[in-house]
Amino acid sequence: MNHSMLAKDLDKDHPLQGLLNKAAAFVPENLYKKDEIYWFEKHYKLDQSSFFGSLSPSLKNDVLLDLNHKSLSLAHYIEKFGLNYGAKMILNADTTEAKSLYALFSGDEVKHRLWIDQFIQRPVGLDIDFHPLLPALALCLEKGNYTATVFSIQVILEGFGLYHYFQLKETCQNLALKEVFGQILKDETLHHGMGVAMMKSFTLDEETKEQITELTALFVKSLLEADWVLKSLRQIGGDLTSSQVKQFKDEIDYEKQLQLRVEKIKSLIQKVGHQGLFEELERRKIFKK
C-alpha cells in the first residue's frame, strides 16, 4: 500500500476543496502575519548556542523562519499520512468498534492538517526526506502487519507525538496556533489510548514480535538521527567546522536531548506490558546510538 504523504493537492478553488471544508466544518483563514515567527530560539535551544548568538539579526531570523517552517511541514506530513493509515487499519481491524474508531480518527487527522495548513507560510514542497521520521512512516505502513502497525504508529509514534506536540503548544507565540495544538493533543490522546488498550489485549506471535522489533528499531534510529536544527544552521548561518559542531552539541545539551528521547520511547514500550519484547529490544541494543 502506498502512503498518502505525497498525494496530489488540488487547487484552492477546486469544488472538492469547498466540499471538504464543509464536511470538516472548517472555515479556512490565514491566521498569521507575513514572516511571523511562532517559535523563537529557546524552543530549539539555540539561545544556548554561541554560534547562533554570533549571527546577524537577519540571519537569526532566517534560521528561525526555516525551522518554524520545518516544524509545521513535519506536522503537515504526519497528519496527511493518517489518510492511508486509516484506510489500512479500517480494512484490517476485525471488530466494528475498532473499524469505527479508525474511521473517526482518520477524520481527526484530516482536521488537524487543515488547521495546521493555515499557519504554513510557504509551500511545503514534495520532499519527505527532510526529516528521517517520514520515510520511516512510509516503510512501516508498507511492511507492518496489523498488530505491528498498531504498536509502531499508535503506541510509539503517537505517544511520542503527544510529547512533541505538547512542547510545540507550550512555547508557541501565536495564540490561534497554540489553541490548534491544544485541540490536536486532545484527539491524539484518544488515538494513542486506543493503541495502548489494544496492544495490552493482543498476544504476539513470533512474526509480529520480529516486525515490532524491526520497526521500533527503525523509529528509534530515525528519532535519534533527527538533527535538522544543526542542518538549518549550517545551510543558512554558514558551515561549521567539526570543532564548532562539537561545541554546538555541547552547548545545546545534545546528548541529554537524545537520552530524553530514548527514555520517552522506553516508557512508551513498557506501557503496553509484553516485558519480553522490551527485553529483546534492549538485547539488540536498539536504544544505543
> Interface residues with Fe ion (CB under 5 A)?
79, 109, 112, 188, 191
Which residue is listed with cell 487547487?
11
Closest contact distance (angstroms) between CB of 161 and Fe ion is 7
- Kindly tell me which of 193 and 238 has the beta carbon lying closer to Fe ion: 193
Q: 60 or 88: whose CB is closer to Fe ion? A: 88
158 vs 214, beta carbon nearer Fe ion = 158
d(CA 136, CA 221): 9
Least distance in Å: CB of 154 to Fe ion? 8
Nearest to 261 by CA among 211, 225, 212: 225
> What end-to-end distance do the CA atoms of the chain give, in Å?
31
74 or 148: CB nearest Fe ion: 74
Work out how close the CB of 178 gets to Fe ion at its nearest, in angstroms, rounded to a whole number: 16
Taking alpha carbons only, the member of 165, 147, 132, 31 closest to residue 89 is 147
Nearest distance from residue 155's CB to Fe ion, in Å? 12
Task: Report d(CA 69, CA 74) in Å as an integer.
Answer: 9
**Is the CB of 35 or the CB of 91 nearer to Fe ion?**
91
Q: What is the DSSP string of the chain?
A: ---STTPPPPPTTSHHHHHHHHHTT------S-TT--SS-GGGGTGGG-HHHHTS-HHHHHHHHHHHHHHHHHHHHHHHHHHHHHHHHHHHH--SHHHHHHHHHHHHHHHHHHHHHHTT--S---S--TTSTHHHHHHHHHHH--HHHHIIIIIIIIHHHHHHHHHHHHHH---HHHHHHHHHHHHHHHHHHHHHHHHHHHPPPPHHHHHHHHHHHHHHHHHHHH--HHHHHHHHHH----HHHHHHHHHHTTHHHHHHHHHHHHHHHHHHT--HHHHHHHHHTTTT--
CB of 75 to Fe ion, least distance (A): 8
Nearer to Fe ion, 165 or 248 (CB): 165
> Least Å distance between CB 52 and Fe ion?
31
Min separation Cβ 101 and Fe ion, Å:
11
- In the complex, the smallest distance separating the C-beta of residue 156 from Fe ion, rounded to whole angstroms, is 12
CB of 114 or CB of 240, closer to Fe ion: 114
The nearer residue to Fe ion, 20 or 240, going by C-beta atoms, is: 20
Residue, CB closest to Fe ion: 191
